[in-house]
Amino acid sequence: MRAFLFVAAALAVTPVAAQDVQGRNLAAACAICHGTEGRAVGSDLVPLAGMPRDYLIRQLQDFKSGKRPATVMHQIAKGYSDPQIDALAAWFAAQRR
Find the shortest distance in angstroms from Cβ 89 to another protein.
15
Residue 77: Cβ within 10 Å count? 20
Find the shortest distance in angstroms from Cβ 50 to another protein.
17
Which CB sits closer to another protein, 54 or 75? 75
Which CB sits closer to another protein, 33 or 57? 33
Find the shortest distance in angstroms from Cβ 33 to another protein.
5
Residue 36 region, left (φ>0) first, then alpha (ψ -120 to 50), else beta? beta
Residue 2 region, left (φ>0) first, then alpha (ψ -120 to 50), else beta? alpha
Binding site for another protein (CB under 8 A): 15, 21-22, 24-26, 28-36, 40-42, 44-45, 71-72, 75-80, 84
Secondary structure of residue 7 in the 3-state scheme: helix
